[in-house]
A and B are shown apart, each in its own frame.
Chain A
Amino acid sequence: MNKHSDLASVIADVSTANGLPNAHYIDPSVFEEEKHAVLFANWAGVGFGKDIPEPGDAKPVDFLGMPILLVRDHDGAIGVFQNTCRHRGMILVDKPQKIRGAIRCPYHSWCYNLNGALRTTPHVGGPGRSMHEDINMDELGLFRIKAHVWRDVIFVNVDGAASPFEEVHADLLERWKEFDTPVHHGGASSSFTLQVASNWKLAVENYCESYHLPWVHPGLNSYSRLEDHYNIEERGLYSGQGTLVYRQLKDQSGAVMPDFAGLSDKWDEGAEYVALYPNVLFGIQRDHSFAILLEPQGCETTVEHIEIYYAKSEADTPELTALRDTNATQWKGVFEEDVFVVEGMQKGRHGVLFDGGRFSPVMDGPTHNFHHWVATQIAAGRDA
């Protein structure tokens, strides 16, 4: 199999390109290759700050088999570590919990503080002796994984070779700088998951484009027509869609959710929906935003973690609870409408005659942009 020629057709211009071949959706060996070249080599989303809200909170995450530990330290900063003891490789934390003092390995009780420093190695020098001249505790702290938090999403770069998040994603940070204000999670109803029988990339591809909206989301047609949308395509960075007719949700009394502070007129009826490669889908509107973290659980299985955020906290706006609940229900309905196409495309990729498909040169640019990026990452991994 000549893998390089496969990717050459993907990297071609959208007008002539084919999509990624079937193997990139159904072949476990390609999934393993993409794990390293696409997900571990870039800034991938693995969790949310809201899930470790207080100092000492720790949450283990299994990211494609990689054991990761998310920790909020005593200063309120989020740290990410490999969740593996430096002694015998035991998993340190197996469920979300509050770390009161130290992370104690349940095997031989080597202990680490919230910054990953090794604090004690009991009996390492024999019974009752916690020292040995060959064990330098300063060199045996937990392996720290490069991490960055943006819009409450915890991003990690597992292989440690990527440039800093702010550099890699400077373009989107600039594009959305007006939204660089605190976000407050909407509470229990604003957090939900969808399990989909699909490779994670198909969820990205569907999210990127507006082409499917009138067919899959006919309820949007009444106010959000296809021609009211525009493509967002930044080669090598991100892609998505924007709308010019965002309409705020109102309750029966006419109440709306408060806007994020300081927005320009552009956002009165504007909203944007961007896939930040590889695996986080963002949506921003004047009065709320959301993040969808795609957790690849296997070649053909993905969990979508959806979290919705607002300009004001629940505590400050209890009168808006019902409106937030309605908003979450509406979004959940939209996202659920996408499940059958994502799963259908997955099934379709078992068709041995499928050639990756052809793109609409006009409508599918954002999706092709993602394919181009994936192919580029894979090629870089092969060349490394």
Chain B
Amino acid sequence: MTLQTSSALDDALLAAHAKSDLPDLVALYTQAADQAEGRSDTNAACFYLTHAFVFALEDGAAEADRLNKRLADYGCAKRLEF
């Protein structure tokens, strides 16, 4: 799932929050982070990565390890063992 416009992404995020759909939340926040990185907006990227990581961690998803590494590489999170 790739949403091109920020408003579409916002709508999808709100829907995922409403359903507590953890896999969707991980994917959508990761997408938002990727878009922010594309704009070289590191602060926004870390904000979205943080959310993607939290929901991946909650869900026990494999992505948690990779998302944590991205945050740690930015110096925004402690590197965890999984």
Contacts and interface: CB of A to CB of B under 8 A. Distances in A.
Interface of A: 100-102, 104, 109, 111, 119-120, 122-123, 125, 127-131, 137
A100 B46 contact: no
Contact of B49 (A100, A101, A104, A128): A128
A131 B53 CA distance: 14
B50 A100 contact: no
Chain B interface helix/strand/loop/mixed: helix
Contacts, number: 57
- What class of interface size applies to chain B in its complex with A? 20 to 34
Listed residue (A101, A125, A128) with the most chain B CB atoms within 10 angstroms of its CB: A128
A102 B43 contact: no
Given A122-B50, A127-B43, A128-B46, A101 B60 contact: yes
B16 interface: no
Contacts of B64: 101
Given A111-B57, A119-B57, A122-B54, A128 B76 contact: yes
Contacts of A131: 76-78
B18 interface: no
Nearest to B45: A128
Most buried by A among B45, B61, B64: B64
Contacts of A125: 76
Contacts of A128: 43-47, 49-50, 76
B76 to A, nearest CB: 5
Interface of B: 43-47, 49-51, 53-54, 56-61, 64, 71, 76-78, 80
Contacts of B46: 127-129
A127 B76 CA distance: 10
A101 B61 contact: yes
A120 B77 contact: yes
A137 B59 CA distance: 20
A298 to B, nearest CB: 34
Contacts of A137: 78
Nearest to B61: A101
Contacts of A111: 54, 57-58
A127 B47 contact: yes
B80 A119 contact: yes
Contacts of A101: 56-61, 64
A100 B43 CA distance: 29
B3 to A, nearest CB: 21
